[in-house]
Amino acid sequence: MVDPAPPPAAADTAPRPEDIAALDRAGRVAALDGWLSGLLTGALASAPAPRGRRGQPAPAPGTGIALVAVGSLGRREPAPLGDLDLVLVHDGRPGIAAVADALWYPIWDAGHQLDHSVRTVAEAVQVAGTDVKAGLGLLDVRLVAGDADLATALRSATLAGWRQSASRLLPELHDLRRGRIRTVGELGFLLEPDLKEAYGGLREGQVLRALSLAQLVDQPPADAEEAYALLVDVRDELRRRARRGTDVLVRQEQPGVATALGLADDDVLLRRVSLAGRRLAFVADEAWRRVDAALVRRPRARYRRVHREPLAEGVVRQGDEVVLARDARPAADPGLVLRGAAAAAHADLRLSPYTLKVLAVHAPPLPEPWPAEVRWSFLRLLASGRSAVPVLEQLDQEGLLVRMLPEWDHVRSLPQRHPWHRFTVDRHLVEAAAAAAALTRDVDRPDLLLVGALLHDIGKGRPGDHSEVGGVLIRGIAARMGFPPADVEVLVAMVRFHLVLPDVATHRDLDDPATIDRVVETIGGDRALLQLLHALAQADGAATSSSAWSPWKAHLVAALVGRVAARLGSVTVPEPVLEPSAPQAETPAPEIPGPTRPVTVGVEDVVDGQQVTIGAPDRPGLFSLCAGVLALNQLDVRAARVTVEAGYATSVFAVRPRFGRAPVPGILADAVRAAMEGTLPLGERLAQRERDYRQDGSRGAPPKVSWFDAEATGAANSLVEVRAADRAGLLYRLTAALAAEGLDVRGATVETLGADAVDAFYLADPSGTPVDEGQRGRAAQALLAAASGVAPDPVPR
């Protein structure tokens, strides 16, 4: 950087823009102020002397006129080769046009870009009250030369007008911000960011200051001010090196800017810019949520009860945020962070800033390996798709994500220099997980897909092939998360081979048997792994760029997968292992015939919740009634199976209480009896519950129904599998829809992985005839409607 030169003070000294750009920031301000002050003195001297009004003396020279700087010069941070934003303020005297001409023309003649206006105080306030951009600039009013009292009056009036007009102007300002996000992108994740206009750029800091001046939010925190100062420094060096008024940090200028700022290399520069932009964006997001809440007009009341809606154990919805429940104990509940984050993402909300702070301070380290409940919450968070992105950023900004995944720190804001990539490594991984959430219906193990997508590039930025390095890292991460050894090996294979399908599809002959043999050998003949790698390739490509995943490339990969799948053959539907629990309610007498035996309920504590075994005389729709009773008692079903022997059905459910209250066998048994007798309106009660808990609505990809008749066993002659977003009462509605179509559920396997339910039902027609094509079609439509939440309340036969 060049040392500042003494500022020119004479009116006839006209520094060129290049001369000003060579100075440091303080030097630029001093040089411009001195020159402009001299210009105003000369302009006043050459203009006709003002006359006093009748009976009053003429005003003294230099009074009633002030030259003020606004915008960047007003903030004392003029950009090299930037515009000069100036306002000539006057008290309404005639002849002001001559003064203005004498002032503006020398500036143009010197080659400077000028944004200028001539206003009285009243005119300036009127403009600020109707033009949000002009109003923002006037908030940075600073006297350069002339009447100090007039400049002070302008500043005071502008601030008062801004506060008065905030409710009308701020929505427009927020719309402008949303437009910048759509058109310019996010500074924190771009490889060539616009330092000024990008989301998280310099505009963000300026608007934050405007919001605080409107007295709607507090002053920006110190770390946000430091982030803003860094971006100003980078902007100044960029403009000085580029020798033009640009704010886009293009690739070719990054090494020089890094050297000028004393940084090791351009990667360090881009990483610091990314972290600064993310911090500014995060603080601005929180501020805008406060502003939006403050601007919403609510009915006035002396006492207003705050509505708090339970979302999960320990967290509730309050307004548009997720906050801690009154009985939450963050220091004693390791799963609360991820449980709250999952609930927020699933409801498309954010955690409140105060809640984040409390969790950051008091949340204990996660046990290793993670408890099943913690892993479940993590999967549910990832399965929320796009809604998970801002929540993960919240966890990241408060240091909670790195605390759970220490390996994440190495890829935070790590730039990727490949021209296909549009995001930093960490944002690319989050985007890949969000894209994978829309593909979970296509794989047998959506939980492994989500985790693999989030961590497939975790090895980047370290020596060696990132796929191999990542395979080593994820082995430890997956074991720490509590995945069983077999699942750990699948995740390792996903990370190691996540580029195999795209590389082979685009560089090898798909008609060559050797090509197919190579892929089969690489994946060890595992069709489930092939499914996962195909979905991961799609998610990875979508999170990279349209160039990385074109329709042509997608077609080639799909063709390769089809050929490999044909070589491998089919795969059976997996079954969860559940054993009946000893009944804790009424014990049945074995000698009583099945149809007359009483209802029994057994509850047993297991690692992740409880296992509930319900025994009852078999009848059409019984399994559906049992599932509905569990949902009504706020029990989330994780897995289930049903067997029928001698007219007596035994249904085994793995459940977890949504709000921590363990199931009571007697209450469940009474409810099952009432449902069987028709005195408990399950459909009506569950519909009301879904209205009360809006977060249970279906999200993500549409449901999918598949038939596997060849795999049906025993008395069943058809097997149908439903993949859908999990929600309260889903199992009840699916089985009730089948019963309404006259189909008997002879067996079932239910598994919930993350936020996805994978339910397989073994069906038979009560008449003993095979399920025909027409029945399958009607049943499929009924299942899709039930899974989508658009079907009327089913009434099982």
CATH number at residue 291: 1.20.120.330
Is residue 114 located within the same domain as residue 237? no
CA-wise closest residue to 787 among 707, 729, 739, 719: 729
Residue 179 lies in a domain: no
Residue 718 lies in a domain: yes
The pLDDT, as a whole number, for residue 299 is 46
Q: Which two tokens stand for residue 579?
A: 């054993």
Q: Find out whether 619 and 644 touch, Cβ atoms under 8 Å.
A: no
Is residue 616 located within the same domain as residue 736? yes
Residue 304 lies in a domain: no
Cα distance between residue 666 and residue 768, in whole Å: 36
The pLDDT, as a whole number, for residue 516 is 92
DSSP state of 9: -
554-557 long-range contacts, CB within 8 A, separation 24+: 556/505, 556/506, 556/510, 557/501, 557/502, 557/505
pTM confidence score: 0.74
- The CATH number of the domain where 88 resides is what? 3.30.460.10
Which of residues 261, 295, 329 is at a domain's end?
295
Burial per residue of 457-466, b for 16 or more beta-carbon CB atoms within 10 angstroms, e otherwise: bbbbbeeeeb
Other beta carbons within 10 angstroms of residue 769's beta carbon come to: 10
The pLDDT, as a whole number, for residue 512 is 82
Q: What range does the domain containing 507 cover? A: 405-568
Q: Which two tokens stand for residue 231?
A: 């971006």
DSSP SS3 for 559: helix
- The CATH number of the domain where 562 resides is what? 1.10.3210
Which of residues 518, 553, 568 is at a domain's end?
568
Is residue 777 located within the same domain as residue 668? yes
Residue 114 lies in a domain: yes
Residue 266 lies in a domain: yes
Q: Which residues have a Cβ under 8 Å from the Cβ of 63 and sit 6 or more positions away?
A: 147, 150
Query: Which residue ranges of the chain lie beneath pLDDT 50?
Result: 1-12, 298-299, 301-303, 571-579, 582-594, 695-698, 795-797
The pLDDT, as a whole number, for residue 623 is 85
Is residue 135 located within the same domain as residue 282? no
Q: Show the beta-strand stretches assigned E in 187-302.
A: none
Residue 313 lies in a domain: no
Residue 224 lies in a domain: yes
Is residue 444 located within the same domain as residue 542? yes
Q: Find out whether 433 and 454 touch, Cβ atoms under 8 Å.
A: yes
pLDDT tens, 438-459?
998 889 899 999 999 999 999 9
Is residue 611 located within the same domain as residue 749? yes
Is residue 28 located within the same domain as residue 151? yes
> Based on the structure, what is the number of domains in the chain?
4
Is residue 75 located within the same domain as residue 116? yes
Q: Show the beta-strand stretches assigned E in 254-314.
A: 308-312
The pLDDT, as a whole number, for residue 754 is 61
Residue 209 lies in a domain: yes
Sign, CA dihedral 268-273-274-275, equals positive
Is residue 290 located within the same domain as residue 215? yes
β-strands 600-606, 609-617 pairing: antiparallel
With tokens 């296992």, the residue in question is: 611
Count helices and strands (H / E) in the chain: 29, 16
Which of residues 295, 316, 346 is at a domain's end?
295
Is residue 155 located within the same domain as residue 98? yes
Is residue 229 located within the same domain as residue 93? no
Is residue 624 located within the same domain as residue 768? yes
The pLDDT, as a whole number, for residue 688 is 76
